[in-house]
Amino acid sequence: MAMLPLCLILLTNLLHFLSAQQTNGYVSVGASLTATPNASSWLSSSGEFAFGFQQIQGNDNFLLSIWYDKIPDKTIVWYPKDGHTVPSGSKVELTGGTGLVLTDPEGKQIWTSGSISNIASGFMNDTGNFVIIGSDSRNIWESFNHPTDTMLPTQVMARGGVISSKMSKTNFSAGKFQLRFQLDGNFVLYTLDIISGSTGNPNYNTGTFNVSSSTNSGYQYIFNATGYMYILKGNGEKYELTPRDSLPSGDYYHRATLDYDGVFAQYYYPKNSDGNQRWEVVWSEPENICKIDGGGACGLNNVCSLEDNRPICECPQGFSLLDSNVPNGDCKPDFAPSCDEDYREEQFDFIELNNIDWPQHDYVHMDPSNEESCKTSCLKDCFCAVAIYRDSQCWRKQIPLSNGRKDSSVIVKAFLKFSNGNHSLQRPEFSREDKNRRSLILLGSALLSTSVFVIIFLTSVICIGFFRVYKKRSLNPYPSSKAVEATLPRFTYQELVKATDGFKVELGKGAFGAVYKGVIGTKMVAVKKLHSLIQDVQKEFKIEVNTIARTNHKNLVQLLGYCDEGEQRLLIYEYMSNGTLAGFLFEDTRPSWKQRSNVAIGIAKGLAYLHEECSTQIIHCDIKPQNILLDEHCDAKIADFGLAKILMLNQSRTNTGIRGTKGYVAPEWFRNTLVSVKVDVYSFGVLLLEIVSCRKSVVFESDNEDMEVLTDFAWDCYQKGLLDTFVENDSEALDDYKKLTRFVMVGLWCVQENPSLRPTMRKVIQMLEGGLEVAEPPCPFPYSLTSFKSFNECG
Ligand SMILES: *[C@@H]1O[C@H](CO)[C@@H](O)[C@H](O)[C@H]1NC(C)=O
Ligand SMILES: *[C@@H]1O[C@H](CO)[C@@H](O)[C@H](O)[C@H]1NC(C)=O
Ligand SMILES: *[C@@H]1O[C@H](CO)[C@@H](O)[C@H](O)[C@H]1NC(C)=O
Ligand SMILES: *[C@@H]1O[C@H](CO)[C@@H](O)[C@H](O)[C@H]1NC(C)=O
């Protein structure tokens, strides 16, 4: 009989356990939550934070997350990194063996906190940190150590930590903005390139790194319990992020979130509110993301303006959103000027946009100019899509336009070319309200459109120098891949004979053919006549030309058009008024150190783009001063990229297979090893040493044996600390000794015989710009056999 009360006690305990798996923030092993509209959650002891499933706005799916449970909008502060949403009926369980396990209704595992064992319990802390406690009472896993887009008071980030913005308000996949607390101690906001994942220049950084001493570089990023954020340096100093005394006194929630618009903001919210409150901003960076080149707040052709320190993106008149769900995405032109043979200026007119500028990627700059001549010159030029008029100067631009910004404090006019009549499309004029309505209507259809189309389209928009939508096809909002192929203007041979006045003025001769000066419309061009090709290369020619056309970077010579007629294959490029880098470096007067270092960084950026940022990776294979051109501002532009593939493809069967030019060629060309982008890094290293020293890579006639091979000489001078000899006592370079040393060291890293030791071009840029410390380079040729060495300096 004594058994009964005992059983009852056990039973009530069991019932209690089943009904409330959680008390005082603790969660027992075996407890689970199911995703349903009114699902329960695991609360912290104060009830301020909850862990569980939250239904996503405008969506039937759920997100496993942690949120402020007492705030009406249940602001989310954490979710698993990939931001996957799950359907109703999905389950999360705290298991004894693998911690938190998220499964879909079929039982398939979607996410887990990681394989960990001997778990005692889970704990939803009042700080917003969900902790898994081991049987030894230590914390095995913490949501604070896996932040997604938000940081909370008492949370600390070590070097190497990253948080990512979400994609949009309701899409929790990782977006294009990142906050990195770098290994060097710098705290940096970046915009990622969607395709390559690489970063450009920082949108904001604290500069808490120190190249020469690590003790005063950043050590921890701390959000303290009072609500102040700062970088704690190695020497105990604080670099304050939250301005001193900026927080209101009283009981407030605090958080800092890298929002989907690219702004990292710290917010507060009164704890005991009547429900009519909202999150207020105390501090945010960057100050004006619209003004940052490459900030990427708005997509291509889109225009950014600032409202309350936040970017608002709006397609300009004549453009509409590529994906109506993504207002900060790319805009597509409703009609784009084309360079058809029947281009006539009478067919076009302008839409005038005030205070709007796209300050990058102009290909013609007229100074001085007036409004009328600015417009006329754009009308006459079939390549011109937009003319910008400001301060009596005129810039002509092609589509896609990037970094568009609206700023009423600047007096600037943008003239957007559009086809005037004989056109089935009407001139579009949407106000923002119209667009919102349209968005709703389009939402359904956009969801139905296949992502493949979107990807093809996006890719093409991003890398294409020209955007041509054929008149016939312009009613189709999603051009087929065929349309993408046809984006580059094609010219007949006769037109080019005319444009070059019968190939009268030769600008130069290269491995691939001669280059002639020409004029198309009013635009000066360089026409490259390629050596005749073997017939079966024909198909590759088209593919490669389109690959080249899809590149668009300020350090690459822009391909404007091509001709493919029988045996005749010609490429039309923008004309570069300042000739080649070879002329710049080795002739007449020595250019200044500042100019030289700018040129070096420009080339590095162009190469990094070819290697990492364009949709198709391009290995140049023939980097040398003759292939680098300088525009009117002496900015470097890489020429002849993409050609190695067309022209050498077949020759490699017949000759030794060595591409490129002697002296710049990476050693692996002579071996039977795989050729990668690292061959370009090698050539860049040689080029960098040439730019630094104004000496040629190989000098044959010299009496001085030591100076024959530049890479040897550079290593020798570097080792002996004789950089003054290396730069021939260039006083400007010597005054900038730190940078000079850095450049030489980077050069020596790039020419390492072992390709895997050479840095990527991305790293090269960071090292050249001083954002990344350069380690001591080892001897570049530890096992070099021959030709490259003329004396045994490494012995
Ligand atoms: C969820 O809760 C609300 C109000 O608390 C109630 O009106 C609704 O019927 C519930 N839905 C389900 C599916 O239980
Ligand atoms: C909860 O957070 C507080 C404040 O940071 C801390 O002192 C406590 O140890 C935490 N509890 C657990 C179980 O981690
Ligand atoms: C979020 O965006 C990504 C990338 O565009 C897409 O693959 C994913 O399906 C989106 N998720 C939701 C829930 O819409
Ligand atoms: C948080 O940091 C601020 C600013 O550095 C400081 O004034 C405050 O005392 C700190 N609070 C705590 C709890 O350490």
**CATH number, position 404:** 3.50.4.10
Distance 256 CA to ligand 2 centre (A): 20
Active-site residue set: 622
Q: Which residue is closest in CA terms to ligand 3's atom 1? A: 171
Task: Count other Cβ atoms within 10 Å, centred on residue 589.
Answer: 6
Count how many domains the chain has. 3
DSSP 752: -
CA-based torsion, 494, 500, 502, 506: positive or negative: negative
Residue 410 belongs to a domain: yes
Place of tokens 């009268």: 504
Mean pLDDT, rounded, of the chain: 79
Q: Which residue is closest in CA terms to ligand 2's atom 12? A: 125
Same domain, 280 and 326: no
List ligand 3's pocket residues with C-beta within 6 A.
85, 167, 171, 173
State the alpha helices, DSSP H only, in 674-736: 678-693, 710-720, 723-726, 731-735
CATH assignment of the domain containing 623:
1.10.510.10
31 pLDDT exceeds 90?
yes
Residue 528 belongs to a domain: no
Same domain, 334 and 276: no
Please name which ligand lies nearest the alpha carbon of 38: 1
Q: Which residue is closest in CA terms to ligand 3's atom 5? A: 167
220-224, 393-397, 729-733: which is most confident: 220-224
Same domain, 328 and 206: no
Same domain, 604 and 631: yes
Burial 607-627 (b: 16+ CB within 10 A, else e): bbbbbbbbbeebbbbbbbbbb
CA distances from 532 to 149, 299, 541, 658 (A): 55, 40, 12, 20
pLDDT of residue 785: 38
Number of C-alpha atoms within 13 angstroms, CB side, residue 569?
A: 20
Distance 38 CA to ligand 1 centre (A): 6
688 pLDDT exceeds 90?
yes
CATH assignment of the domain containing 26:
2.90.10.10
For the chain, how many helices (H) and strands (E)?
Answer: 17, 43
Q: Which residue is closest in CA terms to ligand 3's atom 13? A: 171
Distance 46 CA to ligand 1 centre (A): 24
Q: Two tokens at 674?
A: 């795989």
Same domain, 36 and 67: yes
Ligand 1 pocket residue status of 756, Cβ below 6 Å? no
Residue 435 belongs to a domain: no
Place of tokens 């051109």: 629
Structural domain harbouring 757: 581-768
| Helix (H) or strand (E) run with residue 762 in it | helix 761-768
Q: Rounded mean pLDDT of 601-630?
A: 86
Instruction: Give the end of a domain, one of 290, 321, 348.
Output: 290
116 pLDDT exceeds 80?
no
Residue 351 belongs to a domain: yes
Return d(Cα 554, Cα 557) in angstroms, integer.
Answer: 8
Q: Could you tell me what percentage of the chain is helix, strand and coil, using 3-state DSSP and rounding each to the nearest 5?
A: 25, 25, 50
Q: Two tokens at 455?
A: 């990807």
Ligand 1 pocket residue status of 88, Cβ below 6 Å? no
Which residues are registered as beta bridge partners of 755? none
523 pLDDT exceeds 70?
yes
Return d(Cα 643, Cα 646) in angstroms, integer.
Answer: 5
Ligand 2 pocket residue status of 143, Cβ below 6 Å? no
Same domain, 327 and 285: no
Comparing 602 with 665, the larger pLDDT belongs to: 602
Residue 77 belongs to a domain: yes
Q: Which residue is closest in CA terms to ligand 3's atom 14? A: 171
Report the length, in residues, of the chain.
Answer: 795
Distance 221 CA to ligand 2 centre (A): 19
Q: How confident is the model at residue 341 (pLDDT cuts 50, 70, 90)?
A: low
Which residues are registered as beta bridge partners of 571? 528, 562
Return d(Cα 298, Cα 291) in angstroms, integer.
Answer: 11
Quote the distance between the C-alpha of residue 768 and its chain's center.
18
pLDDT of residue 675: 63
**Which of 228, 241, 246 gets mutated to test ligand 4 (max ligand atoms within 8 A of its CB)?**
228
Burial 50-76 (b: 16+ CB within 10 A, else e): bbbbbbbeeeeebbbbbbbbbbeeebb
Q: Which residue is closest in CA terms to ligand 4's atom 4? A: 228
Ligand 2 pocket residue status of 209, Cβ below 6 Å? no
Range name among 340-354, 426-440, 610-624, 681-695 with the lowest pLDDT average: 426-440
Which residues are registered as beta bridge partners of 283? 266
DSSP 171: -
700 pLDDT exceeds 80?
no
Residues near 316 by Cβ (< 8 Å), separated by ≥ 6?
Answer: 301, 303, 331, 353, 356, 404, 414, 416
Identity of the amino acid at 139: N
Number of C-alpha atoms within 13 angstroms, CB side, residue 157?
A: 28
Residue 498 belongs to a domain: no
Using an 8 Å Cβ cutoff, are 611 and 760 in contact? yes
Same domain, 264 and 347: no
Using an 8 Å Cβ cutoff, are 257 and 290 in contact? no
Nearest atom (ligand 4) to Cα of 238: 5
Distance 166 CA to ligand 3 centre (A): 10
pLDDT of residue 754: 81
Distance 48 CA to ligand 3 centre (A): 30
Nearest atom (ligand 1) to Cα of 37: 13
Please name which ligand lies nearest the alpha carbon of 45: 2
Task: Name the nearest CA neighbour of 204 among 227, 180, 229, 228.
Answer: 180
| Helix (H) or strand (E) run with residue 605 in it | helix 593-608
Distance 622 CA to ligand 4 centre (A): 57
Using an 8 Å Cβ cutoff, are 761 and 638 in contact? no
Largest CA distance in the chain: 116
738 pLDDT exceeds 70?
yes
Same domain, 186 and 328: no
Residue 190 belongs to a domain: yes
Identity of the amino acid at 32: S
- pLDDT tens-digit series, residues 773-782: 898 998 887 6
607 pLDDT exceeds 70?
yes
pLDDT of residue 567: 77
Residue 697 belongs to a domain: yes
Q: How confident is the model at residue 663 (pLDDT cuts 50, 70, 90)?
A: low
Same domain, 117 and 181: yes
Q: Two tokens at 88?
A: 């109703």
**Which of 110, 171, 176 gets mutated to test ligand 3 (max ligand atoms within 8 A of its CB)?**
171
Return d(Cα 355, Cα 367) in angstroms, integer.
Answer: 19
Same domain, 370 and 402: yes
Q: Rounded mean pLDDT of 447-465?
A: 30
pTM of structure: 0.58
Same domain, 586 and 727: yes
DSSP 667: G
Same domain, 218 and 336: no
Instruction: Give the end of a domain, one of 419, 450, 473.
Output: 419
Return d(Cα 473, Cα 464) in angstroms, integer.
Answer: 18
